[in-house]
Amino acid sequence: MKLLTTIAAVLISISAYSQNYVEYNRGTFTQNGEELSMEQIDDLTLLHKAGVGNFRRGNKFNRMHKNQYQRNTNNIINLLGSGATGIYGGIGVYGGVIGIILGYDSEPRYLRLGALFLGAGTGLCVVSYKAFSRITSYEMCLPKRDEEFKKVADKINQAIDAVGPSAQSSNQ
């Protein structure tokens, strides 16, 4: 009798446990077969303290897909930022190489100054590349949104796993 009770308890907890996972598929989140609104997903991310940044970025790509003005504004800002940091980065790399060449034979302070400019210029070039890579087209918005929202669902599910089945029934 005790064995049957234990088996029944395990089966009930497994079925209840597996139903609380959040799934994402092409713009919709579901839990227990029911579609969840974005507000409910936002509440879940805040409740579990998981995936908040990914949810914010996913919504940003969703808005940019629907709003051409916002997409163009984002692209112009990233293009200007990447261009400016790229120019200063190139100047820094060029100045650093010249300083290293001049300091190699003559004075060590040119060598140190050249290394400093080379490092700063390289860092600015990396920042420029990261800003330039954030430029999005209309076709890129939905795949990036889906990628971020899948991360949100995974992080929420990991938080649900960490909490365990006993606390999940209170989330409903």
**What's the pLDDT at 96?**
79
Q: Is the pTM of this model over 0.85?
A: no
Are the C-beta atoms of residues 24 and 150 closer than 8 Å to each other?
Answer: yes
**What's the pLDDT at 6?**
58
Query: What are the residues facing 22 on neighbouring strands?
Result: 31
Residue labelled with tokens 């010249």? 98
**For residue range 106-156, what is the model confidence (pLDDT) as tens digits?**
677 777 777 788 888 888 778 777 777 666 776 777 888 888 889 988 888
Mean pLDDT of the chain: 76
**For residue range 8-54, what is the model confidence (pLDDT) as tens digits?**
554 444 444 455 788 888 878 888 888 888 888 888 888 888 888 88
Are the C-beta atoms of residues 114 and 100 closer than 8 Å to each other?
Answer: yes
Residue 83 to residue 79: CA distance in whole angstroms: 6
Is the four-CA dihedral 121, 124, 130, 131 of positive or negative sign? negative
Is the four-CA dihedral 73, 75, 80, 82 of positive or negative sign? positive
H helices present in the chain, as ranges: 2-19, 38-48, 52-66, 68-105, 108-133, 138-163
DSSP three-state, residue 51: coil
Residue 48 to residue 130: CA distance in whole angstroms: 30
**What's the pLDDT at 134?**
66
